[in-house]
Amino acid sequence: MIRRLQYLYHMSLKFELPVHEHHFKLRCFPSTDARQKIFNEHVEIYPVHFRSTEKDSFGNTCVYGTANQTHDHFSVDVEGEADIDINKKLTEEEYKTGIFKYETPLTKAGTTIRKFHLELEPPSLFANNFERAFYIMNMIYDDFSYVQGVTGISTTAEEAFDLRRGVCQDYAHILLAMCRLERIPCRYIAGMIPGEGATHAWTEIYNEGEWRILDPTHNRECDDTYIKISSGRDAKDCSINQGVFYGGGRQTQEIKVKVSEL
C-alpha cells in the first residue's frame, strides 16, 4: 500500500548585521528513490539571484546559489507531496557501501562506547546485519534518554553516550558508532516525520543487498510515514545550509517542518 504525505519545510537564517555576496548550498529537498516518489514540489528561496540544482557525492539533492544584494535574513521554503511505499527494496551493490563501514569524527567510538559494546551479546547469535543492528538499537534505547538542550550539532557519539542523554542526532550517531565497530555498513538519514516541529534523524543498515531502516530514537523499524531528505556518513554530510558571505555577525537559524497524510 502506498501512503501519500504532504510536507512543508521552512528554514530561516537571521543575521545580526547585514550581509552581501552570499554564496550558499542547501540540502533540504527530498529526492525520489525506490521507496519514495516526490512530486508537486515548490521551492522558494529569498533572496536569490542565481541558483542551480545538482546531486552531491551521496546522491542528495543540493541547490547552489548566490544572493548578491544586502540582506539581514535568508529563507527557504519547500512544499510538496511524497508517495511512500515501504515494501519497495532500496538495493545497492555491496562494493558501493564500503565508505559507510568506517568511523567519522562524529561517530568515532571512545572508551564509553567500546566498553558498552563489549558487554553486548556476540554477533554469532544473530542471523544477519539487520538483526544485529536491531538488537544494538534496543540496548541503546534502554540505556539512553531523550533530553533536549544538553547536546549540539557538533556533539560526538562518544560525548553524548557519556551523558546518556541527547536527541535524535545523538541516537543515530551512537547506533552508527556501534555498528561500525563491527564493520556493518550504515548511514545517517535526515528527514521528516508526521506532525509539526523540526527535522528528524534515523539510520539505514545495509543487509543482504538492501538498505533497511531503523529509528533508534523511537526504537523501531521505520514505516511509510518517514520522508527522507538526505543521507551520509553522519550529520555533517546532511548539513542543511552551508555558505560564505561578507558581514553578518551572530546568526540565528530556525527550522519548522510539518508533515500530514493526504
Confidence of residue 204 (pLDDT cuts 50, 70, 90): very high
Domain 94-237: assigned CATH number: 3.10.620.30
State yes or no: pLDDT of 1 exceeds 90.
Answer: no
**Residues in contact with 201: Cβ distance below 8 Å, sequence separation at least 6, in sequence order:** 168, 169, 171, 172, 188, 189, 190, 191, 217, 235, 238
Mean pLDDT for all residues in the chain = 97
**The predicted structure's pLDDT at residue 193:** 97
Question: What is the predicted pLDDT for the residue at 236?
Answer: 97
pLDDT score at 248: 81
In tens, the pLDDT along 113-156 reads: 999 999 999 999 999 999 999 999 999 999 999 999 999 999 99
pLDDT of amino acid 135: 98
Q: What is the pLDDT of residue 102?
A: 97
- Arithmetic mean of pLDDT, 229-250: 94
For residue 108, the model assigns a pLDDT of 98
Query: What CATH number is given for 3-86+240-261 in this structure?
Result: 2.60.40.2250
Can you tell me the mean pLDDT for 242-259?
Answer: 93
pLDDT over 70 for what percent of the chain? 100
Q: How many CA atoms lie within 13 A of 177 on its CB side?
A: 28
pLDDT at 207 over 90: yes
**Predicted TM-score (pTM) of this structure:** 0.96
pLDDT at 96: 95
**Cβ pair 60, 238 in contact under 8 A:** yes
Same fold: 3-86+240-261 with 94-237? no
Residue 249: the pLDDT is: 84
- Given a cut of 90, whether residue 110 has pLDDT beyond it is yes
Query: What pLDDT does residue 125 have?
Result: 95
Query: What does the DSSP 8-state code read for residue 198?
Result: S
Give the model confidence (pLDDT) of 28-80 as tens digits: 999 999 999 999 999 999 999 999 999 999 999 999 999 999 999 999 999 99
CA 151 from centre of chain = 16
Sign of CA dihedral 164, 166, 169, 172: positive
**Mean pLDDT for the stretch of residues 101-106:** 98
Q: Domain ranges in the chain? A: 3-86+240-261, 94-237
pLDDT > 90: percent of the chain: 98
pLDDT of residue 88: 96
